[in-house]
Structure 1
């Protein structure tokens, strides 16, 4: 999972980045809001934003993120205790607000909760699940190891079950901000369908795909 961190306190920035990398996340850390403003669509799964940073503040970046993505988690970290600031953060779509100082463990818990990765296994059918850490899909006790892009696509589908995902959303998440042709996306879909053996992935004409599963 790729996380963007914006924090202008160098020591805290480095501490958060180090801890999250130990958890297995890919972390791109910045100290200047202007740098982040142009990187919002680079395929992140989670944003961690300080408010009071140089050039462009975290609230403006939050508003910009929500112009592109309605559901990607955004966590605000700030020393501000002003109710107006906290309210503004939620009004513009932050998912959680963490007041400084805080324990890094608190931030890790919030990331895991918001990104639906509380454990290593994402179940999608009876006796079928995705083991995120080992990049393995298990179907009726048969293990199938996935490539990096197959793993990212599988994780995206399972965190957005029964929701239509556009070609652009898949490109941003799986290719992590790099360009992907429509044929590259279709080729990846074909490979994953072959692994899954069943018709979980359905095409939405001229739009993208949906991972259809029964909900309990």
Structure 2
């Protein structure tokens, strides 16, 4: 499972990263809010955010995360005990709030409870599955590696399985807010369909696409 950690205290950042990696998690850590902000769509299954960090604060990043991910857990870690700050964090969709200083064991428990994907292998059917750890699709046990945009699109589909996704939603997530023509989106869909043997992505006329799994 991939975790994004934002903590500007370098020593604490290193301690948290080391402990989580020992647990078997993959951790991408940042000390700068702007760098974290620019990488939130890289397929993370959990976010751990400090609030008071350089350039872009954790609350703004939380708000941006919720534009893309409705359900991915976000843990706020902060020294602030101001009620308004805590309320704001929950209002914008944080899953839990941990006040500094804290024992690293506390954070590990929250990650385990909120963020851990019980099965890193997401099966579409008996012959096809996606390995979250390696970001590789396996079709008939043969690995099918994905490009960055294919991986982002599949991550989006997996968070919204059996739900219709509009062209705008796909553009905002996969192209990270930049413009993408309808033909560019259709071309990406065709490539993903080819990887997945054209079995799961259905077209919703004049609207977008739906990823159907059992």
CA-CA distance at 1:145 after TM superposition: 1.5
Gaps in structure 2 of 5+ consecutive residues: none
Residues 132 and 155, structure 1, Cα contact 8 Å, conserved in 2: no
What secondary structure is seen at the aligned counterpart in 1 of 2:130? strand
RMSD across aligned positions (CA) = 3.8
Moved more, 94-103 or 51-60: 51-60
Deviations 1:185-211 (A, max 9, x none): 322211221232353112234443220
CA-CA distance at 1:82 after TM superposition: 5.5
> What does residue range 32-181 of structure 1 map to in structure 2 within 5 Å?
35=34, 39=37, 43-44=41-42, 45=44, 46-53=46-53, 57-63=57-63, 65-66=65-66, 68-69=67-68, 71=70, 72-81=72-81, 85-100=85-100, 101-103=102-104, 105-106=108-109, 108-109=111-112, 112-113=115-116, 117-139=117-139, 141-149=140-148, 150-171=150-171, 173-174=173-174, 181=181
Q: TM-score, normalised by structure 2?
A: 0.68
Q: TM-score, normalised by structure 1?
A: 0.68
**How many residue pairs align between the two structures?**
205
Gaps in structure 1 of 5+ consecutive residues: none
Corresponding residue number in structure 2 for 1:23: 25
Residues 41 and 172, structure 1, Cα contact 8 Å, conserved in 2: no
CA distance in 1, matches of 2:124, 2:183: 26
Residues 62 and 94, structure 2, Cα contact 8 Å, conserved in 1: yes
